[in-house]
Amino acid sequence: MQIHRPSHARGRADFGWLDSRHSFSFGQYYDEDHMGFGALRVINEDRVAPGAGFGTHPHKDMEILSYVVEGAMEHKDSIGTGSVIRPGDLQRMSAGTGIRHSEYNHSKDAPVHFLQIWILPERNGLKPGYEQKTFPAAERDGRLRLLGSPDGRDGSLTIHQDVALYGALLKPQASVSHALAEGRKAWLQLVRGTLRVNGQSLAAGDGLGIDAPDTLAIAAREDAEFLLFDLAA
């Protein structure tokens, strides 16, 4: 079965400095029909004003991924990590037993547009940790590039959960496919552009869940960027 989550149906929080769209229940937005998808708990599409950001705050027992679409995000945390995340980068912060961090727009002049993704860990009580890797556009052009996996294979970032995260950039009329094995499900989040996936048209910000074994036929109608999560069912 396919679950289409149109961009306009997502929850929204607008604080002036932050415009956030929630694919799943988050904060003050609650939707009992959209509490997550397997181990995938949060996909927030955030736009942060120049110089603004999230002050230091705590997290626990969650794998938190940041994927920048445009601009640059500055990160600092309580385990001594400080970095700037730019397009092509993927950051993973394992909150584990507890971590505090802040995220700010690195620019004083331009907004930053990024996705914040939360994935339930394989178990609670992990040691807090951090990892960041760059995946150049050339590695994602016209193909599904593995960005994250449980074992960090093929140069991917390590995620402490049974999930394979892929990223791709497709030009108009280009296509890729992905076979879901027995006992797997998938969520595709379209970052920009338009796609057609197994007959379903998707626009920027849309999500599509596939909750049974299938082969995803993914074709671009215009320049497109998307993330694909292959998860345990």
Beta carbons of 231 and 36 less than 8 angstroms apart: no
Q: What is the pLDDT along the chain (233 residues), one digit of tens a residue?
A: 899 999 999 999 999 999 999 999 999 999 999 999 999 999 999 999 999 999 999 999 999 999 999 999 999 989 988 899 999 999 999 999 999 999 999 999 999 999 999 999 999 999 999 999 999 999 999 999 999 999 999 999 999 999 999 999 999 999 999 999 999 999 999 999 999 999 999 999 999 999 988 999 999 999 999 999 999 99
Q: Does domain 11-135 have CATH number 3.90.1170.50?
A: no
Q: Is 161 left (phi over 0), alpha (psi -120 to 50) or beta?
A: beta
Torsion of CA 38, 41, 43, 44, to 10 degrees: 160
Q: Domain 138-232's class?
A: mainly beta
pLDDT digits (tens, 9 = 90+) for 6-15: 999 999 999 9
pTM of the model: 0.97
pLDDT digits (tens, 9 = 90+) for 168-223: 999 999 999 999 999 999 999 999 999 999 999 999 999 999 998 899 999 999 99
Asked whether the domain spanning 138-232 has the same topology as the one spanning 11-135, the reply is yes
pLDDT of 169: 98
Enumerate the domain spans of the chain: 11-135, 138-232
